Every structure is written in structure tokens, then in C-alpha cells.
Amino acid sequence: MYKNGHIGLALLFAAPFAFLFGILFGPHWGVLTLVFSFTTARVPDMDQRLKILTHRGFTHTIWFALIVSVAMGSLVTQLVSILEFNTIGNGEFLSWLVADIPTLLLATFGFMLGFISHLVGDILTEAYDYTINPYWPISNKPYTLGWATADSRLWNWGLLLCGSVSAGTVLFLIALS
């Protein structure tokens, strides 16, 4: 799956949660959930640019997704704290995280959605010589459905269209509510 397909799938995955969080916690959480998922949608494929990593290796596991999502969620939480308290970091990073668990959880979850959508996208894609082992090294079981070819226009553009329409609809509904 290419860029368009992964971005579309990330928006599609995030849309129902963006709607829920937007209604429950305020419109900004609707927007942020979409943005966070969009941000991480293509991160696993950075292994194609770094020669030390094998393609569809560690960056395509749920552990990598979890580590990076928690790290990025922590940064967002600290940023929110800095903005809210109008101050700059003074070494109280951990106490801020503990003080704002809801932001940490929501942001981490948003980033996770992008990663999970990526793994699902690759599972849908015909594997050639690369398969996804999302639970490596605990399990080496490869996952592949092979429903789409990586360069399928129908899948790539279709997913982008579905994702964009879902995201747009959610933003519209949140704005109305």
C-alpha cells in the first residue's frame, strides 16, 4: 500500500474515535485524534530509508507502535502543560504526566491508531517477500491477507477517498454539536 492508502486508512480508523472524543471531551479532541493518527500513519515505513533496519521488521510491530506512541503522547502532554501553565519545562516532566493522565492516554491512543491502521494496511497488501509479524519476537507468525496489491489504484485512492470523507463528516458533525 502506498502513501494515499495508508493516510486514508489512518483517517478511517480515527474517524469514529474522533467523533466520540469530540463529543465527550470537546471539539479539539476530535481534530487532534485525526491529526495524531495521520501523523503516525506512515512512520513504520521509515525503515525503508534507514539501511540498518529490515523492511517490515521491528517498526512494523505493536511494540514499536506502543513505545513511539507513548513517547509522542508524553511530548504532547508536556506541550499542553507548558501552554496551559504558560511556563517552560523545568524538570517536572514526570509530575506533569501524572497530573494529566487523560491527555496522555488520549494522545497516545490517537498515535496508536495511526500505527495500527498502518499494520492493517500492510496486512491487506500482498506480501511478496515481506510479511508483517506484529508480535515479533514473542510470536513469529506472519500476518497477510493479500487482498490488495501495493500499487492498486483502487485500494490506494479508494481508501484515501473513504478516509477523507469520514474525517470531513466527523469534523462537520462535531462543529454542529
Q: Which CB atom, from 8 or from 44, has the smaller least distance to Zn ion? A: 44
Q: Which CB atom, from 45 or from 100, has the smaller least distance to Zn ion? A: 45
Q: Which CB atom, from 79 or from 127, has the smaller least distance to Zn ion? A: 127
Phi-psi region of 87 (alpha: psi -120 to 50; beta: other; left: phi over 0): beta
Q: Which CB atom, from 4 or from 81, has the smaller least distance to Zn ion? A: 4
What would the x/- binding string for Zn ion be over residues 93 to 132, using CB under 5 A? -----------------------------x----------
**Alpha-carbon distance 55 to 125, whole Å?**
14
Distance of closest approach, residue 22 Cβ to Zn ion, in angstroms? 29
Q: Which CB atom, from 11 or from 76, has the smaller least distance to Zn ion? A: 11
Distance of closest approach, residue 39 Cβ to Zn ion, in angstroms? 15
> How many chain residues bind Zn ion (CB under 5 A)?
3
As a three-state string, the secondary structure of 93-117 is HHHHHHHCHHHHHHHHHHHHHHHHH
Count CB-CB contacts under 10 A for residue 48: 11
Distance of closest approach, residue 124 Cβ to Zn ion, in angstroms? 11
Please, which residues bridge with residue 125 across strands? 148
- Beta-carbon contacts of 10 under 8 Å, excluding residues fewer than 6 positions away, are 37, 38, 40, 41, 113, 114, 117, 118, 163
**Alpha-carbon distance 170 to 40, whole Å?**
20
What would the x/- binding string for Zn ion be over residues 38 to 77, using CB under 5 A? ------xx--------------------------------
The residues binding Zn ion (CB under 5 A) are 44-45, 122
